[in-house]
Amino acid sequence: MRVRTDAPLAPLTTIRLGGAAASLVDVSSEDDLVEALRAAEGAAAPVFVLGGGSNVVVADEGFPGAVLRVGIRGLSARRESGRVVVDVGAGEDWDALVARAVDEGWGGVACMSGIPGLVGATPIQNVGAYGQEVGDTIASVRAYDRARGEFVDLDAADCRFAYRTSVFRGSGRFIVTGVRFAFEAGRDVTVRYAELARALSVALEGCAPAREVRDAVVALRRAKGMVVDPSDPESVSAGSFFVNPIVDARGVLDIGRRAGAPPPHFDAGEGRYKVAAAWLVERAGFARGWTQGRVGVSAKHALALVNRGGATTRELLGAARAIRRAVRERFGVTLEPEPVLVGCSWEEDDL
């Protein structure tokens, strides 16, 4: 277990923002995790768990406690009841797992190719893309329960997966150390997302080989600056900054009335619909490439807020709040942030 003090956090995030952590602890086993938590509790220090840094925004002041980087590795696979059961350490790279799944014929994750980060982060916000969600392939999650002081294995139902959330998100109670996947065997993917269907030249709900799906998804993500690339300044972001809002049928009609055109929306079940947040952002006056100081909207995707060099977290949140305020005034919809905010607040009156 490696411990560093006054450790800069900005280089560990994809948006390259934020101050230092009082201590940064690299955890490589469950025993290390318990030891690190006991040390933090003994020092009365707050704890934050950092993964790949792709979905996090850290305050300029940093974090006044212990930042734990869970680097528990390992992968094992076996066939069970017609499925492929794969146990993966939280510290394994997510996209490397997707690549292997495609190669091995483990179905259910090809559409989530190119997403940066670690496996342990995926159940927390129920990562999803192009019609697939990770919660649909998870059998159980192993985590340390800080309330009970022991490791637990939560099955999929206990994880309470929903759109971009789960029992793990925002609670601080659980620290994920491993994920058990149950993949259906198969090398074809049912394409349920219109943009991807067009890229593959297949009908919606048609099938395409997983390898072709993976290649198409990565190309689409790269074109939007959503693949971390040191040579692409538009990728210096935290990914999508806003979650697609969910409204009822009346809400869809109201947005359309205010906009003068129906918004792109998708069935979210139970009479509710996901409205495209990127469409709302652009219709509210924030075109791709919009810049305010040293931050702005990506020139490639309206949902990504980009650090254009030398920015501060305060500047980023100021731009984000300006966008949220404009969308709310124009459409009556309040956007919520997708990244985890560390040491900083989303509230308008509290930077």
Q: For this structure, is 164 an active site residue? A: yes
Q: Which of 35, 104, 282, 338 does the annotation list as catalytic?
A: 338
The C-alpha atoms of residue 32 and residue 334 are separated, in whole angstroms, by: 41
The C-alpha atoms of residue 63 and residue 69 are separated, in whole angstroms, by: 14
Runs of H (alpha helix) within 126-168: 156-159
Closest CA to 189 of 216, 162, 207: 207
Q: For this structure, is 150 an active site residue? A: no
Q: Which of 164, 214, 283, 324 does the annotation list as catalytic?
A: 164
Please enumerate in sequence order all residues whose Cβ is within 8 A of that of 123, keeping only pairs 6 or more positions apart, or say none. 134, 135, 138, 141, 159, 161, 166, 168, 176, 179
Parallel/antiparallel/unpaired status of strands 237-240 and 304-307: antiparallel
Q: For this structure, is 240 an active site residue? A: yes
Q: Find how far residue 159's CA is from the centre of its chain.
A: 16
Tokens (6 digits) for 43: 């020092």
The C-alpha atoms of residue 295 and residue 312 are separated, in whole angstroms, by: 9
For 278-298, give one letter per residue: b (16+ CB within 10 A) or e.
bbbbbbbebebebebeebbbb
Q: How far is CA 333 from CA 157, 164, 247, 325, in A?
A: 30, 18, 9, 9
Q: Which of 240, 283, 298, 315 does the annotation list as catalytic?
A: 240
Which residues are the active-site residues? 164, 240, 338
